[in-house]
Chain A
Amino acid sequence: DQQVKQNSPSLSVQEGRISILNCDYTNSMFDYFLWYKKYPAEGPTFLISISSIKDKNEDGRFTVFLNKSAKHLSLHIVPSQPGDSAVYFCAASLLQGAQKLVFGQGTRLTINP
């Protein structure tokens, strides 16, 4: 039962262009969504989050969009930089048991010079 899905295992983008990573979820009770970035041999690092009462949240080059009716969220990175090459995980949390995160399978982003 994969409640959070990232259907693209990998994505390749040219440096300077926009990277768009997508995530779908099935549980309408999720009310908080996060994106984490992971480099090899390191733990995931928090990037950006969004509450279900919002549809957009921006932080520098990173913007997360939430479409609750479609149960879909996306992460936009503009402009993409070589240091953005990593695995990106989408995660969701319920208000109850809030510290329990449900993760997607991850998308490996490669930024090409």
Chain B
Amino acid sequence: KAGVTQTPRYLIKTRGQQVTLSCSPISGHRSVSWYQQTPGQGLQFLFEYFSETQRNKGNFPGRFSGRQFSNSRSEMNVSTLELGDSALYLCASSLQTGPVYNEQFFGPGTRLTVL
């Protein structure tokens, strides 16, 4: 079974631009979560999508948004990029068959550098 895939793996943008990152979950997984990893803040939860609906949201400004498609693939978008948005963006998918926690499987991440 293929794992979680993320594209692109590396991205360089300049301040003020916007960026879209893509995540394909493991087949059959309906929940997709996004995390940001930076040296200073560690791994922080951005948001979770389930059945095309945002179900949970972390403490990030509105410049960070996402969506999920009917095939469970997800995209996240960051508008008006700032230098501090440079980070590794990780996507994780899970089955989420009930209300309790389901193991999340992480992709390799997209390394975003903002110049």
**Alpha-carbon distance A66/B44, docked complex (angstroms):** 23
- List chain A residues, Cβ under 8 A from B92: 43
Evaluate whether A105 and B42 lie within 8 angstroms (CB atoms) in the complex, with A32-B100, A99-B102 already known: yes
**Alpha-carbon distance A32/B58, docked complex (angstroms):** 18
Q: Does A95 contact B (CB under 8 A)?
A: yes
- List chain B residues, Cβ under 8 A from A91: 43
Stretch at the interface among B14-22, B66-74, B77-85, B105-113: B105-113
Q: Does B31 contact A (CB under 8 A)?
A: yes
Q: Does A113 contact B (CB under 8 A)?
A: no
Q: Does B27 contact A (CB under 8 A)?
A: no
Q: Closest approach, in angstroms, between the C-beta of A106 and any C-beta of chain B?
A: 6
Q: Does A78 contact B (CB under 8 A)?
A: no
Q: Does B55 contact A (CB under 8 A)?
A: yes
Evaluate whether A43 and B45 lie within 8 angstroms (CB atoms) in the complex, with A97-B56, A98-B99 already known: no
- List chain A residues, Cβ under 8 A from B103: 34, 46, 49
Q: Closest approach, in angstroms, between the C-beta of B112 and any C-beta of chain A?
A: 14
**A91, A98, A99: residue with the most chain B Cβ atoms closer than 10 Å:** A99
**Alpha-carbon distance A100/B57, docked complex (angstroms):** 8
Considering the complex, which residues of chain A in the window 47-65 have a beta carbon less than 8 Å from any beta carbon of chain B?
49
- List chain A residues, Cβ under 8 A from B109: 42-43
Q: State whether A43 touches B94 (Cβ < 8 A).
A: no
- The 5 residue pairs across chains A and B that have the minimum distance between CB atoms: A43-B106, A103-B43, A98-B101, A105-B42, A32-B101
11 pairs of residues in contact across A and B, judged by CB atoms under 8 Å = A36-B106, A42-B109, A43-B4, A89-B42, A95-B101, A99-B48, A99-B56, A99-B96, A100-B33, A103-B44, A105-B42
Q: Which residues of B contact A (CB under 8 A)?
A: 4, 31, 33, 35, 42-45, 48, 50, 55-56, 58, 90, 92, 94, 96, 99-109
